[in-house]
Structure 1
């Protein structure tokens, strides 16, 4: 399975303000110490959801505690007021939005990273120990390919396909890219339980979050015929149902928060596809019922 090259497209994801890493030992500055670091994230945000699922799969509640932020930021520029002190302590006269996700260092009171892929890898490699291997040896290139496919071929293509006021030909090309990507994923997953290995890896976290976004956010701006074609990938959506039943996935699925965050940010018009739900996510979320975690205010 290959990643289809896509035309350049400006993502609405802000560039990470901080990209520190957690190293192996004290020489790296930031090194793995249980209780030293804290996550600040909203599971209504796709990056926050990816990190929350990773954190739960690795069982890091006490090793690296998490503070869950409200679904809708409370600052006009799209940031969270509770994160402002961390940002200001980490960068002199910081003027940008104080957005999540954030990995903070309790020893210094500063931010280590706001870059979700780095945070996920550092949680798995520095704190995962002998727990589930989310980044198994030799699988990095496969995981990176899935990340690109999910980001460009699913999320960005779906966003362009449903773009308000977009040129019809551009929207049609984007929809074609989306359907081509979903078709490749569907064929790949036929007869498989997980994406690249016989157990859950980071590739599964990436794909599951992309499918959640596709059905709960991007579907709202597509016509009903397009959504029906998206839904016509049985192996792919059966895979999404299986993962949703896992507590680490479904237990963090804040459907109400995703909807409120989307309506707070989105300026586009709702299309007919909004009425064609692909999955009943809450029904498959086990005991979590799609309620998501409670907001933990520091």
Structure 2
């Protein structure tokens, strides 16, 4: 039970799965679904990364909501006419209400939408990327890495459970706490776990095994946002990421790996957090820094060995229309 003033994440409301074995009413079928994301959102970011690493671009199209929204939901305000060009909707909430006219839960990204009906099938962000790895295998690119290897799943699941409660959600528990006690408890738990992860990564390049797995993706999407928004905006300010040597090198290593840094738009990340969370930042002023060029500084993680993609290969170039602005040195 959360204490007074503690933040509790609302559970997802539409948690159907898209499967290849007939175990759900939603079959894996290329071209049937559209993945709706926002560059700002860490939960959506990991779906973008997994889709790209596995080469699912031809099987699952991508719609990108803008960084700003209000009580009506995420909005496609970066698209022509403020509408998603495939679904034809202005607000993501429209697709939720097509699935359930009385829908009153959280309208979140990522969301998988059936294109023909315009209905959200699932916003189950915890299972979605695992299903990309396990249920969509027939449509993986040649050389796609195994991000959820069967012989390591128990360890990956254990590591991810701690990352989710203490880090991914931990920064939000800091930022949205409404009492000093709740904030300080969340703060202590967050940095205790970051210290444990630093110890784990001091002698191995990746979290589980010697290749990138789902666990790395889930940790990294929080780390990459840490200095830009969580350190100041969410008061996670014991240290910046750049002041945590192991995690900073680890995060930079992944940023410079195809499929990671090429999904990040720091301006949209800042615009969302500082512009939407008016209860934390009433003025809506967006900070100018930090300088993103630090992410291109060399690292020495290769000394630990490891093979980023295992027996696979890096993904190819980012698809037209899905690029983010490059960092200019």
Residues 275 and 176 from structure 1, CA distance in 2 versus in 1: closer, same or farther, beyond 3 angstroms? farther
Residue 50 of structure 1 corresponds to: 46
Query: How many aligned residue pairs are there?
Result: 279
Q: How far 1:239 moved relative to its partner?
A: 0.6
2:255 matches 1:244: yes
Extract unaligned runs of 5+ from structure 2.
Answer: 76-89, 299-316
1:60 aligns with 2:56: yes
Q: Residue 235 of structure 1: CA displacement?
A: 1.6
Which structure 1 segments of 5+ residues have no match? 1-5
> 8 Å contact 2:220–2:251 — kept in the other structure?
yes
Alpha carbons of structure 1 residues 140 and 111: separation in structure 2 relative to 1, 3 Å: same
What is the TM-score with the length of structure 2 in the denominator? 0.73
Shift of 1:166: 3.3
Map of 1:1-298 to 2, 5 A cutoff? Answer: 9-11=6-8, 13-26=9-22, 28-73=24-69, 75-80=70-75, 81-96=90-105, 98-129=107-138, 131-161=144-174, 166-167=179-180, 169-221=181-233, 226-227=238-239, 231-266=242-277, 267-268=279-280, 280=293, 283=296, 293=323
Cα deviation for residue 248 of structure 1 reads 0.8
Contact 2:201 2:247 (C-alpha < 8 Å) held by counterparts: yes
Change (3 A) 1:108 1:280: same
- Would the alpha carbon gap of residues 260 and 281 (structure 1) be closer, same or farther in structure 2, given more than 3 Å must change? farther
Mapped to 2, the partners of 1:278 and 1:139 lie a distance apart of 37
| Greater percentage in helix | 1
Rounded to whole Å, the distance in 2 between the matches of 1:174 and 1:97 is 23
Q: Structure 1, residues 68-93: CA drift from partner, whole Å, max 9, x if none?
A: 111112x4343333323322221133
Q: Secondary structure of the equivalent of 2:150? A: coil
CA-atom RMSD in angstroms:
3.3
TM (norm. structure 1) is 0.80
Cα displacement (A) at 1:284: 5.8
Q: Please give the alpha-carbon distance, in whole angstroms, between the structure 2 residues aligned to 1:125 and 1:256.
A: 33
CA separation in 2, counterparts of 1:56 and 1:276? Answer: 28
